[in-house]
C-alpha cells in the first residue's frame, strides 16, 4: 500500500483523513478512548509537516447521531481541534479554507448523508473536493464498500495511515501463527463468522468457539439450548466443522431464565439447559479448558466476548483476558466488547497487539485483504 510517509508535499495541503471515530457514547459522553488514541500518530505526523488536517468518520448506525461528543473527547488530545456541524457544502468548505497549516478540523457524522453507506459517487466527489490528498486510517471500516472508504480514492491520491499499516502488518503475521497456536472466537452470527472459522481451522492448532456462536453448534449436535440466541445456520455445514479435531466448544454454561440478571444465573453442564433458560455465558470448566491450551500456546488470537457482555455477563470474558496476559504467548485481539473488557481491566498494554477492527479484523483474517485496502495499492 502507498504509505502516508510517501506523500512528497504536505506544507499547507488539505488532507482528508478517514479516522476511527465510532466510539461508545452514553449520555453525551465518550466511554473508552482507545480508537481515538490510536488515531493520533497519523494526525500528529501530518501536523508536524504543516498539513491542514480534515478528520472524517461516522458514529452509530442510525445516521442521526452526532460526532460532537467525540469532538469534545478528542480535544483532550488536540486542544486546538475545531468542529464543523456539517460534512459537505459551503460551510464545510469554508471551515477547511480557514484551517491554518498544522490545524485540525473534524466534520460531522458521515452517515448523516445516505450517500455514504450507499457508496454514491456524487457524495464521494463532494467529499474529495474538500482536500487534495486522502489518508485511510480507519481500519475498522475497511471491509465496508462505503463512499469514504472506496469512493474517495477514485478522486484523490490515497495513502494508508500509520494505524492501517500497523493493522495489516500485525494481522498478516496472525495468518501464519506457526506451531502451538490457539484462536478464540466469540460473539454471534455464524453466517459472518463461518469464513474465518474455516480459515483458522486450517492454520491454528486449536480453535475455540464460544459465546452465542457456540449455540448453533450445540443445537446442531442435538444438545438443548433452551431459549438461547441461535442464527439458524445450516446444520450440515456446522457438522462438517464439528468433525474437525481442532475445534473446541464449551464444557459448561452460565444460564438464567429469560430476562434474568447476573445474580440469577446458575452454572450448568451443556446437556442440562432447561427449555425456559437462556445461555448467557461460558462456565468455569470452559475457562479452565481455554487456560490449559493458552498455557501451551505461542500465539493466541481472540475476537469476540464469551458471554452476553452488554448485559453484565462478563465473568468468562474477563477471565480469558487475564488468562491470555498471564501466558507467554504472542497475543492478537480485537472486537468492540473484547477491547472494552481489556480496557476495563486496565491491562491493554499487556497484549501484543489490539486491533481497532471487529468485523474488519475477521474479514481480513478470512480473505487476506479488504476493499478499503485494495484501493490503496
CATH code of residue 294: 3.40.50.1260
302 in helix, strand or coil?
strand
Same domain, 244 and 327: yes
Same domain, 81 and 156: yes
* Range of the structural domain that residue 8 is part of: 4-164
Same domain, 336 and 357: yes
Q: Is 374 inside a domain boundary? A: no
Q: Is 54 inside a domain boundary? A: yes
CA distance 139 to 358: 10
Q: Is 377 inside a domain boundary? A: no
Pairing of strands 252-257, 266-269: antiparallel
Q: Is 324 inside a domain boundary? A: yes
What are the grid coordinates assigned to 107, written together? Answer: 466534520
Strand order in the sheet with 266-269: 266-269, 252-257, 277-282
Helix ranges (H only) for the chain are: 34-48, 68-74, 90-97, 121-128, 162-174, 190-203, 213-220, 235-242, 284-296, 315-326, 336-345, 359-367, 371-374
Q: Is 372 inside a domain boundary? A: no
Prediction pTM value: 0.93
Q: How many domains does the structure of the chain reveal?
A: 2
Q: Is 169 inside a domain boundary? A: no
Same domain, 307 and 347: yes
Q: Is 27 inside a domain boundary? A: yes
Q: Is 170 inside a domain boundary? A: no
Same domain, 150 and 227: no
Among residues 362, 348, 352, the alpha carbon closest in space to that of 37 is found at 348
353 in helix, strand or coil?
strand
Asked which of 164, 188, 216 is the last residue of a domain, the reply is: 164
Same domain, 347 and 262: yes
Same domain, 220 and 265: yes
Pairing of strands 133-137, 14-19: parallel
Same domain, 194 and 272: yes
CA distance 298 to 69: 40
Same domain, 237 and 105: no
Asked which of 164, 191, 206 is the last residue of a domain, the reply is: 164
| Distance spanning both ends of the chain, measured CA to CA | 4
pLDDT in tens, the chain (377 residues): 999 999 999 999 999 999 999 999 999 999 889 999 999 999 999 999 999 999 999 999 999 999 999 999 999 999 999 999 999 999 999 999 999 999 999 999 999 999 999 999 999 999 999 999 999 999 999 999 999 999 999 999 999 999 999 999 999 999 999 889 999 999 888 888 999 999 999 999 999 999 999 999 999 999 999 999 998 788 888 989 999 999 999 999 999 987 777 778 899 999 999 999 999 999 999 999 999 999 999 999 999 999 998 888 999 999 999 999 999 899 999 998 899 999 999 999 999 999 999 999 999 999 999 999 999 98
Same domain, 111 and 13: yes
Phi-psi region of 92 (alpha: psi -120 to 50; beta: other; left: phi over 0): alpha
Asked which of 164, 186, 215 is the last residue of a domain, the reply is: 164
Same domain, 132 and 180: no
Dihedral through CA 366, CA 251, CA 269, CA 323, nearest 10? -100
Amino acid at each position: 500500500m502507498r504509505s502516508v510517509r510517501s506523500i512528497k508535499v504536505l506544507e499547507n495541503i488539505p488532507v482528508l483523513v478517514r479516522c476511527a471515530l465510532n466510539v461508545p457514547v452514553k449520555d453525551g459522553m465518550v466511554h473508552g478512548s482507545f480508537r481515538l488514541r490510536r488515531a493520533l500518530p497519523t494526525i500528529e505526523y501530518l501536523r508536524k509537516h504543516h498539513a491542514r488536517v480534515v478528520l472524517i468518520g461516522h458514529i452509530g448506525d442510525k445516521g442521526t447521531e452526532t460526532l460532537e461528543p467525540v469532538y469534545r473527547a478528542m480535544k483532550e488530545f488536540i486542544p486546538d481541534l475545531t468542529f464543523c456541524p456539517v460534512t459537505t457544502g459551503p460551510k464545510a468548505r469554508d471551515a477547511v479554507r480557514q484551517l491554518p497549516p498544522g490545524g485540525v478540523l473534524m466534520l460531522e457524522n458521515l452517515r448523516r448523508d445516505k450517500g455514504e453507506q450507499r457508496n454514491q459517487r456524487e457524495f464521494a466527489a463532494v467529499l474529495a473536493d474538500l482536500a487534495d490528498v486522502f489518508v485511510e486510517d480507519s481500519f475498522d471500516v475497511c471491509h465496508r464498500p462505503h463512499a469514504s472508504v472506496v469512493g474517495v480514492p477514485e478522486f484523490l491520491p490515497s495513502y494508508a495511515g500509520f494505524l492501517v499499516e500497523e493493522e495489516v502488518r500485525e494481522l498478516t503475521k496472525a495468518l501464519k501463527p506457526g506451531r502451538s497456536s490457539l484462536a478464540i472466537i466469540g460473539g454471534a452470527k455464524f453466517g459472518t463468522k463461518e469464513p474465518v472459522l474455516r480459515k483458522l481451522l486450517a492454520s491454528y492448532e486449536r480453535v475455540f468457539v464460544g459465546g452465542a456462536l457456540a449455540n448453533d453448534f450445540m443445537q446442531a449436535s442435538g444438545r438443548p439450548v433452551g431459549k438461547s440466541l441461535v442464527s439458524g445456520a445450516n446444520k450440515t455445514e456446522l457438522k462438517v466443522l464439528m468433525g474437525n479435531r481442532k475445534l473446541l466448544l464449551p464444557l459448561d454454561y452460565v444460564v438464567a431464565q429469560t430476562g434474568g440478571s447476573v445474580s440469577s444465573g446458575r452454572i450448568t453442564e451443556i446437556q442440562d439447559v432447561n427449555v425456559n433458560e437462556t445461555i448467557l455465558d461460558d462456565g468455569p470448566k470452559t475457562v479452565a479448558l481455554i487456560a490449559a491450551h493458552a498455557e501451551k500456546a505461542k500465539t493466541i488470537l481472540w475476537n469476540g466476548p464469551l458471554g452476553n457482555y452488554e448485559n453484565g455477563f462478563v465473568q468468562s470474558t474477563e477471565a480469558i483476558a487475564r488468562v491470555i496476559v498471564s501466558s507467554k504467548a504472542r497475543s492478537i485481539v480485537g472486537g468492540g466488547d473484547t477491547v472494552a473488557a481489556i480496557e476495563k481491566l486496565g491491562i491493554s498494554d499487556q497484549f501484543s497487539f489490539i486491533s481497532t477492527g471487529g468485523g474488519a479484523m475477521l474479514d481480513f483474517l478470512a480473505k487476506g485483504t479488504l476493499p478499503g485496502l485494495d484501493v490503496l495499492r
